[in-house]
Structure 1
Amino acid sequence: MTAALAVAAGIVGLAIGSFLNVVVWRVPRGESVVSPPSACPRCGHAIRRRDNVPVLSWLVLRGRCRDCGEPISVRYPLVELATGVLFALTAWWAGPVWVLPALLYLAAISVALALIDLDTSRLPDAIVLPSYPVALVLLALGSANPGGEADWWALVRAVIGGVAMFTAYLVTVLVKPGGMGLGDVKLAGVLGLYLGWFGWGALAVGWFAAFVFGGVFSIALMAMRRAGRTSRIPFGPWMLLGAAFGIVVGPALSSWYLGSL
């Protein structure tokens, strides 16, 4: 059953990835993600439905517009494929549980926010702020666990985690302006909700892991002379990666660490 669920989630992820390409391009520009329909930027022809099949259409068209031959960036099928794989892995790891929709939503916004932050050094409110109510509703569904035993303490813990991470990041920005942006502060609250829901161990590990991953990446860039000590590096992708790490291995890692003391 888990394998079938992973395959189904992967197929859905491919379609979501196609939509995320639109989100990543339009949201930073303040454009609607609904209209107008996607079109070739060179000739203006709307993308036909048969040319909008994730990954496959790009391969069939050999990476070019059907009408004018304009090259289509390989990033588009890569985003679709990556989202599909991420959805499949998420479903395989979580299994058929009620918190799965919350995790898939986190996976989707993670792809969009990471790419936008890398492109523009911004984490748009249009994605981050609606994620608060969406995450709370979906995590509440996970806590309700229809057909099984409810765990409302997990939802309370999620709210505590969200408030704690938001407050800590906000204090950091106020004490050391320029160290990170307000977008990071807002995203911290969302990630705190997820990490708190999965436990104090997940919260601690996911919180700390973001700084470890970001620090290692920064050191690597400086070693390659691609950045200096004062260079500003987007932190959103590392926050998202840290949260994923905390959710997956945080509870076990924290239990091992406490047990070894």
Structure 2
Amino acid sequence: MPGWLLCIPGLFGLAIGSFGNVVAYRVPAGLSLTRPSHCPHCDAPVRWWQNVPVASWLALRGRCATCRAPIRWTYPLVEAACAALFVLVTWFLFAGARSPAPADVAVAVALWWLAAVTVILTVIDLDTHRLPDVIVLPGYPVAGAGLLVACLLGAPWPSLGRAVAGMAILAGLYGLLRLIRPDGMGGGDVKLAGLLGLYLGWFGWGALAVGTLAGFVLGGLFGIALIAFGRAGRRSAIPYGPWMLAGAWLGIVLGEPVATGYLRLVGAA
């Protein structure tokens, strides 16, 4: 795949990231997504040239063009992160291919959705310790439809069955953890776990195992770091969604080779 073609998903990711900022700000606040963009300080409308991803924030030096109130630095970060993930997903699926297989295109659409949701949920969970249903739950039909279309276009059907099994396994695991310790696991985490299990199962049992374990490890290390630096106590609520998502991406990209290497090592021992 020619490298210049990666500019296309990159630009698309920037646009999605710009809308992702709107979602990340308005959904937790209960605000409408259809109202035109405006400054939250002076209510001045944001013109189209003030809304170009990353570039406008830099040109305005991170301040509103009307009242000069600061614009959060997370805005260009969200846009850039979405663009980077869209590019990485495209490269991961299509690197070395002269022309993308139709089934892989369907999988790419499902993964682009996950990429956008990853960035949006990370911002929301770090800010509010919430994983809103209105963002998490639509991922089930989007991912399910994308993977089903992939099978109709030539992907192996057992992958879809494994994806459904992964969804049930991960949702069941997190649901059990919530029953054991309700104060340590939120309902949003359980719903997100099922969605991530759907993706991880599609890529293999190794991806499911590594992605699940990585989420626990990353979340645990984050909690330990917060406690060590006095930012949280043993019973403090810690946003876990970002680490579940990060672990899932590690599972998708590295899960199968890591699991295969581990099994070979164990077998050799």
Query: What's the TM-score bracket when you normalise by the shorter of the two chains?
Result: over 0.9
> Aligned equivalents of 1:177 and 1:80: distance in 2?
34
Q: Are 2:226 and 1:221 aligned?
A: yes
Residue aligning to 1:179 = 184
Q: Are 2:261 and 1:259 aligned?
A: no
Q: Give 1:1-261 correspondences, 5 Å limit.
A: 1-33=1-33, 35-95=34-94, 96=100, 97-98=104-105, 99-144=107-152, 146=153, 149-261=154-266
SS in 1 for 2:40: coil
**Comparing 107-116 and 227-236, the one that deviates more:** 227-236
Alpha-carbon displacement from aligned partner over 1:26-65 (angstroms, at most 9, x marks no partner): 11122222x2111012222211111111011112222222
Alpha-carbon displacement from aligned partner over 1:193-229 (angstroms, at most 9, x marks no partner): 0000000000011011111111111112222222222
Amino acid across the alignment from 1:180: M
> Structure 1's 165 and 55: CA in aligned 2 closer, same or farther, altered over 3 A?
same
Moved over 4 A (4+): none
Alpha-carbon displacement from aligned partner over 1:94-124 (angstroms, at most 9, x marks no partner): 2142211111111100001111111110100
Number of corresponding residues = 257
Amino acid across the alignment from 2:194: G
> Aligned equivalents of 2:240 and 2:133: distance in 1?
16
- The offset of 1:2, in angstroms, is 4.7
Identity of aligned residues (%): 55
- Say whether the 8 Å CA contact 1:5–1:91 is kept in structure 2: no
> Aligned equivalents of 1:143 and 1:241: distance in 2?
26
**Comparing 192-201 and 5-14, the one that deviates more:** 5-14
RMSD, matched Cα: 1.3
Gap runs ≥5 in structure 2: 95-99
